[in-house]
Amino acid sequence: MNNLAKAGTFKLGDRTVHRLGYGAMQLAGPGVFGPPRDRDAALALLREAVASGIDHIDTSDAYGPHVTNQLVREALHPYPKDLVIVTKVGAKRGPQGSWDPAMSADDITGQVHDNLRNLGVDTLEIVNLRAMFDPRGPAEGSIEAPLAALIDLQREGKVRHIGLSNVTAKQVEQGRAMTEIVCVQNLYNLAQRTDDALIDSLAAADIAYVPFFPLGGFTPLQSSALDVVAARIGATPIQVALAWLLRRSPNLLPIPGTSSVAHLRQNLASASLVLGAEDLETLNRLSANA
């Protein structure tokens, strides 16, 4: 049994994927803007990820922009039948790399067609609508108009399944009232657990939750505690953080990103990492630490 198989699988749309995927955001240049420093290395990393058994890649045409999707196409097209590529719409990049809202019907339509073209497919397997009322994180606001535009594209056969990103529980409820939502992608990790109740409600509904930034927003004290656990079990902090996510709930599908093959292999090894009772007790307390 390989490392990925040890973490189990979960439903993503109408497909079943390994619970540990790959986030392609870091393949673009600094600040997720412009080309990578080493294009050949980026292509090699994508091929290594798929060869290692990863069957869930998260991307967006806003990464670069266009750069990451073009790399994914060059490295992996024609795509393996078991590979699920998830992309997102709702944001565009400014000329200096800013992340700007792009949620009008025309914006959504244009972004879907950009993703189709740059990924080289006729239908996008899963498209997440990223709510951009506040680029820094979830903020209330109606997602009815942009989601309706995405549903229209689904009816046209351009999109197979729809997910949500950067959303509140209320927006998830609104989205589920309009259409089937197959996944929710938000910031969640050991230290940032605002979505605990949402994760549990989605698990009860058999809906995937895709956490990003496994180490985002940690305080020095939280980082120190994580370091202690990592040293005690002979692992890296990121491996411990990923192992905790995999233990948190069976519907969590982490998508750690990296531009390094060595780090990719370390991330994959986290799927087989065993956390003892003492380790879990320490880690579970981190969200309450200042």
Task: Please report, for the domain that includes residue 98, its CATH number.
Answer: 3.20.20.100
For residue 27, which of 273, 272, 263 has the smallest C-alpha distance?
263
Which entry of 22, 63, 188, 209 is annotated as an active-site residue?
63
Q: Is residue 245 situated within a structural domain?
A: no
Contact 92, 65 (CB under 8 A): yes
Give the β-pairing of 91-93 and 99-101: antiparallel
Q: Is residue 69 situated within a structural domain?
A: yes
Q: Is 275 left (phi over 0), alpha (psi -120 to 50) or beta?
A: beta
Q: Is residue 197 situated within a structural domain?
A: yes
Q: Is residue 218 situated within a structural domain?
A: no
Maximum alpha-carbon separation in the chain:
53
CA distance linking residue 240 with residue 234, whole number of Å: 10
pTM of the model: 0.97
pLDDT at 1 over 80: no
CA distance linking residue 232 with residue 240, whole number of Å: 11
What does the CA dihedral 38, 34, 267, 185 come to, rounded to 10 degrees?
-160
pLDDT at 290: 44
CA distance linking residue 161 with residue 119, whole number of Å: 16
DSSP three-state, residue 212: strand
- What's the mean pLDDT in 146-174? 98
Q: Is residue 230 situated within a structural domain?
A: no
Q: pLDDT band at residue 215, thresholds of 50, 70 and 90? A: confident
Domain count, the chain: 1
What is the CB neighbour count within 10 angstroms for residue 160? 16
User: Which residues contact residue 218 at a Cβ distance below 8 angstroms, ignoring those fewer than 6 apart?
Assistant: 189, 190, 191, 226
What does the CA dihedral 18, 211, 148, 122 come to, rounded to 10 degrees?
-40
- What's the mean pLDDT in 156-165? 98
Question: What domain range includes position 167?
Answer: 8-213
pLDDT at 288 over 90: no
Q: Is residue 243 situated within a structural domain?
A: no
Q: N- to C-terminal Cα distance for the chain? A: 39
Q: Is residue 240 situated within a structural domain?
A: no
* pLDDT tens string 87-108: 999 999 999 999 999 999 999 9
Q: Is residue 257 situated within a structural domain?
A: no
Q: Where are the beta strands (DSSP E) in 102-241?
A: 124-130, 159-165, 181-187, 208-212
pLDDT at 289 over 60: no
What does the CA dihedral 19, 265, 166, 175 come to, rounded to 10 degrees?
-20
Active site residue 63: yes
pLDDT at 135: 81
- What's the mean pLDDT in 119-145? 96
